[in-house]
Amino acid sequence: MSLTNASPADAAKAAKSASHILATLPASARNDALTAIHAGLTAARDEILAANARDLELARKAASSGELSQSLVARLDLNKKGKWEDMLKGILDVQDLDDPVGKVTLRTKLDDNLELERVTCPIGVLLIIFEARPEVIANIASLAVKSGNAAILKGGKESTESFVAISKVISEALDKTQVPNGAVQLVTTRDVIPQLLDLDKYIDLVIPRGGNELVRYIKSSTKIPVLGHADGLCSIFLEQSAKPKLAADVIVDSKTSYPAACNSLETLLVQESALETLLPVAAEALIAKGVTLRCDAKSKAALANKLSASSSEKLVDAQDADFDTEFLSLDLAVKTVSDIDEAIVHINTHGSKHTDAIMTSSSELAERFMASVDAAGVYWNAPTRLADGMRYGFGTEVGISTNKIHSRGPVGLEGLMIYKYKIRGAGQVTAAYGEGEGQKRFKHERLPL
């Protein structure tokens, strides 16, 4: 990885050239680079966390004056809830995954001595634009190197010290390997995002990591394909047959384990027949964790009759906008629905196609919900927080995609691959094939992989 203040065009050209070399390196060379990155980051832990602490100090001051959101500050903290350890583990997890490059996914005999193959290959050059989240550098570097892609990273000013410290370590590590240093670059020049987004000649895919304002801006400002999501508006439907404690545990974990995450719960849909039975159990558990419940009239009335006076203080009247809001805080919108059909319609209308879940004892209803909800992740009796590349076994992720093409959900190695077709022939010409006199048909015989 190189820290560069080169012009965006020069950085992109260098990344493109490096991508051609990286794509041809054997898996052993790419894995050796990951070993070096892991060792370098492990040795530099104290230095990097000290740099991160300096970023956090400035970010907290900015948050206290209203310049930054508290959710962004939470994402910036590299030493929070095992984030550092997870970052390092992710590098080794990616290293242990099968090599994604050069896998044959289709073989067809077109004719004698004329065979077609479809083979996986890297996308090329990735542009990752991100806010906070210093661990993104290590995540992206690992996935890019393993998948044979070059990467250009542009981070937000709020975490500059962390980015620079991590980048220097990774750069020194790559210098000891066969991976070109220019294969992973951190652009330090300010105000260059518009120029980078114009470089569709060199950059093959943009991956934004940040709030919906950033993502929407990128999607509207480039011809380069964009992989990502603007909102993480996740919902859970609490159906009348759900087991009370199981449902409460899952709902609490979805909302409170990391409220600033894009896979945290933002809307709880409660079946009307469960208002008096299931909702109070979940509400008490949520309130005990400091959650404020933004309730519609029916759910608030049901809870007011069941909760203690102190707990009832955490109930507020929901506004229509609450059901379209990604709070990223200890706030949860609660809405009453008559049945599963109304829940599905609500999610498909107001959701962000990220991750949604149903709490129920009915396998029939669960399967119907998972088939009908239009989202990258649909779960049964499981927390939305499971939407994560590491938890899926991808090692780590470059982000979560709500796209309808190429890659969807947590994007790991597979999502960073594309494919090419190879044909091996013996001088055959297309004029020899057809339905006319003297022509022959293609055999189109499937061959084993």
- Cα torsion angle, 40, 55, 164, 21, sign: positive
Residues forming a β-bridge with 30: none
pLDDT class for 3, splitting at 50, 70, 90?
low
Average pLDDT over residues 223-237: 89
Place of tokens 């620079």: 164
Under the banding of pLDDT at 50, 70 and 90, the label for residue 2 is low
Nearest CA-CA partner of 423 in 188, 116, 37 = 116
How confident is the prediction for the chain on average, in pLDDT?
93
* Res 132: pLDDT: 74
Reported as a single tens digit per residue, the pLDDT across 405-422 is 788 899 989 999 999 999
- Is the confidence at residue 449, as pLDDT, over 60? yes
Average pLDDT over residues 179-207: 91
DSSP secondary structure letter of residue 232: -
**Helix (H) and strand (E) counts in the chain:** 16, 18
Q: Indicate whether 1 pLDDT > 70.
A: no
Angle in degrees, CA 396, 399, 405, rounded to 5: 115
Find which of 133-137, 279-283, 311-315 is predicted with most confidence, using mean pLDDT: 279-283
Highest mean pLDDT among 59-73, 127-141, 435-449: 435-449
Question: Picking from 95-99, 224-228, 255-259, 381-385, which range would have the lowest pLDDT averaged per residue?
Answer: 224-228
CA distance 103 to 107: 11
What value does the mean pLDDT take over residues 169-191?
89
| pLDDT classification of 125: cutoffs 50, 70, 90 | very high
Confidence of residue 238 (pLDDT cuts 50, 70, 90): very high
The pLDDT of residue 28: 97
3-class secondary structure, 170: helix
The CATH architecture one would assign to domain 2-227+398-418 is: 3-Layer(aba) Sandwich (3.40)
pLDDT category of residue 4 using cuts at 50, 70 and 90: low
> CB of 159 within 8 A of CB of 129?
no
Task: Return the higher-pLDDT residue of 247 and 63.
Answer: 247
Per-residue pLDDT, 159: 84
**Beta carbons within 10 angstroms of residue 190's beta carbon:** 10
**CATH (one of 1.10.10.10, 3.40.309.10, 3.30.70.1060, 3.40.50.1860) for 234-392:** 3.40.309.10
pLDDT on residue 228: 78
The size of the chain, in residues, is: 449
According to the model, what pLDDT value does residue 140 have? 87
Residue 127 makes CB contacts below 8 A (sequence gap 6+) with 151, 152, 154, 196, 197, 199, 203, 205, 206, 207, 224
| Domain assignments of the chain as residue spans, ordered by start | 2-227+398-418, 234-392
**Is the per-residue pLDDT at 190 higher than 80?**
no
> How much is the pTM?
0.84
